[in-house]
Structure 1
Amino acid sequence: MMGPDEIESEESLVELALRVLNTADPFEKSRLGDSVATRWLNGVITHPYHPDHHLVIPDRPARLSNVKLVAPGLMPKLGKAGSLQSRIAIVHSLAHTESWAIDLSWDIIARFGKQEAMPREFFTDFVKVAQDEGRHFTLLAARLEDLGSYYGALPAHDGLWDSATATSKELLSRLAVEHCVHEARGLDVLPTTISRFRNGGDNTTADLLERVVYPEEITHCAAGVKWFKYLCQRSRKPVSDQEEQEICAVESGTTTEDDEVISKFHAIVRTYFRGPLKPPFNEEARKSAGFGPEWYEPLAIKIPIHSG
């Protein structure tokens, strides 16, 4: 397999995304992805895809077998970062999630970019996401080694890719479930995880999560929200007096279009995501990513309040 320095300029971004997906080693996957991303962002790679090329997208990206996989329900408890063992388990789990996030980012480019005739900005946004995810994986894997362990030392689950498989036929569903549900869930739990590492005396890991991973994950969720809205708006059929109706609605602070987008989001999540969403929600981070409580609160568990 060709390395990061052997990328040919006439290769399209989608062709190179496939090469990343077909790279089994997560460290090499990250290095190759970073090289592809840099070349795209610098204008060295010029074509998002070649219209006349028929490419086969793998159902499942290439992965090494060095990580023991178990069902999500059989995963050992991670603990609360109070011990070295717990801190290693949490960082390992985060690194595994990021390894899949690399594949998810390149898959959305390869699987849907040409199929949905997406604009160039779509490719650029998810190239940036892919590059970030690769950096997150590399940094977390290095932190594991600092803690005396390594990626592959503990079991993990592939639930994230199960959702990707379920949403492999429709970009709108992929954006909703992976980027507006799973990514947003990460925003909800990361502040608590950061606090636990600080309380456990591991400021190095806390700083990595707080200064690098957390702010970039907000932008990843924002990309999902942005392109979900774009697709909903692009699919709308013009109606008579539409412009006048929308101008009046914007002035009043709400739009029928917003309601339609949110209703579509709710329908998709209920179809493809198992169970309700779990509060508490990180409202500030979610707002920064471009969506408010009306998106997610109707999908949440209603926790009964017990008196006494």
Structure 2
Amino acid sequence: MEGEGGDERTGQTLVEAALEILNTADPVEKARLGEAAATRWLQGTVSLPYRDHGDLPVPDRPARLSNVKLVAPHLMPKLGKGGSLQSRQAILHSLVHTESWAIDLSWESMPREFFSDFVRVARDEGRHFTLLAARLQEMGSFYGAFSAHDGLWDSAIETSQNLLARLAVEHCVHEARGLDVLPTIITRFQKGEDKHTADLLETVVYPEEITHCAAGIKWFRYLILRSLGGHQSATLLPGCAAKQQLEDGQSIKCLERSFRSLEIIGSVECDAVIQTFHSTVRKYFRGPLKPPFNERARTAAGFGPEWYEPLAVKEVKMPK
């Protein structure tokens, strides 16, 4: 992150708070620090103007505990379909691991609203980690009991010098993939008669992940429109509407209606945004996107099929 203001009570800037979080190995403490920093920032206790922190060292990789066995993505054992307790533990462990990395990923010069959006995302991810890790313990397991992979952070490293690529890959590919798989995961816990975990995923994690994807779409659009001289169009971008709707306790259907009611950005700008998204994902993300897609949730995030279907695995028809 570049150039945020300082906390008048502690003298700590948002950048310094973010670096403290990145350099904290314990994911529980990481989540606690993130919650505290987010509360200070969102309550307006951070002074302006923004300040440049180009002299502060940013770690290539955040500090992590060594108790989680990391393996290459292709060597990950199958999680199962949730029919057994061990399978449900493995699935939940995978979600806990993802949330632990998401805390670090959310803590990146942009308008103040950009930082506020991603401070909210970071706060959400920290809460998701805390809730899911606690649930994993209630199920008789713990974070570190299963293998995990670092595919999410590998993408972060590859996009570390390009904010546009970071937004496209982390928030519009990885976050959106989470929207695709969460309904199936929720169903597996329901079939396993684990209503507690299913409800936690369905009522807390799932709707908030939609707003995280919306934030990526919103600021990806902003950067492209700004480069075209259309930065005033930022007031029309999804993300603000999505976040406000959910903060008001409304449903995914309300999100869908809010996006349908938004003004249409000029077709030339839309084409430029989507074409840039396609070229950016092809450059920074390995391989095609994998269907099936959760079109409803993606649309609620302001992310229509024209964004992702051209990047998807093409169906190969077998000869007759």
TM-score (norm 2): 0.84
Q: Once the two structures are superposed, what CA deviation does each residue of 1:235-265 show, in whole Å capped at 9, x if it has no partner? A: 1158xxxxxxxxxxx9998511000000000
Please tell me whether residue 164 in structure 1 is matched to residue 156 in structure 2.
yes
Report how far residue 55 of structure 1 moved.
1.5
Please tell me whether residue 267 in structure 1 is matched to residue 279 in structure 2.
yes
Alignment equivalent of 1:236, drawn from 212, 228, 238: 228
Report how far residue 12 of structure 1 moved.
1.1
- Preserved CA contact (<8 Å) 2:8 2:46: no
What is aligned with 1:139?
131
- Preserved CA contact (<8 Å) 2:17 2:37: yes
Q: Once the two structures are superposed, what CA deviation does each residue of 1:192-232 show, in whole Å capped at 9, x if it has no partner? A: 11011101111111001000000000000000000000000
Please tell me whether residue 183 in structure 1 is matched to residue 175 in structure 2.
yes
- Preserved CA contact (<8 Å) 1:144 1:150: yes
Q: Which has the higher contact order (CA 8 A, sep 6+)?
A: 1
Q: Once the two structures are superposed, what CA deviation does each residue of 1:59-106 show, in whole Å capped at 9, x if it has no partner? A: 111111110111111111000011000000000000000000000001
What is aligned with 2:88?
87
Q: Once the two structures are superposed, what CA deviation does each residue of 1:250-296 show, in whole Å capped at 9, x if it has no partner? A: 99985110000000000010011111101111111111111100000
Aligned residues: 283
2:156 partner letter: A
Deviates more, 1:40-49 or 1:149-158: 40-49
Partners of 1:276 and 1:255 in 2: CA distance:
26
What is aligned with 1:36?
37
TM-score (norm 1): 0.88
Matches within 5 A, 1:198-277: 198-237=190-229, 255-277=267-289
Partners of 2:70 and 2:263 in 1: CA distance:
53
Partners of 1:52 and 1:150 in 2: CA distance:
37
Partners of 2:188 and 2:134 in 1: CA distance:
20
Tell me: CA distance 1:52–1:75, structure 2 relative to 1, closer, same or farther (3 Å).
Answer: closer
Matches within 5 A, 1:17-36: 17-36=18-37
What is aligned with 1:77?
78
- Preserved CA contact (<8 Å) 1:23 1:62: yes
Partners of 2:53 and 2:317 in 1: CA distance:
59
Report how far residue 44 of structure 1 moved.
1.7
Partners of 2:67 and 2:289 in 1: CA distance:
32
Tell me: CA distance 1:177–1:143, structure 2 relative to 1, closer, same or farther (3 Å).
Answer: same
Deviates more, 1:94-103 or 1:56-65: 56-65
- Preserved CA contact (<8 Å) 1:13 1:48: no
Gaps of 5+ in 1: 1-5, 110-116, 239-249
Whose Rg is larger? 1
Report how far residue 14 of structure 1 moved.
1.0
Please tell me whether residue 289 in structure 1 is matched to residue 281 in structure 2.
no
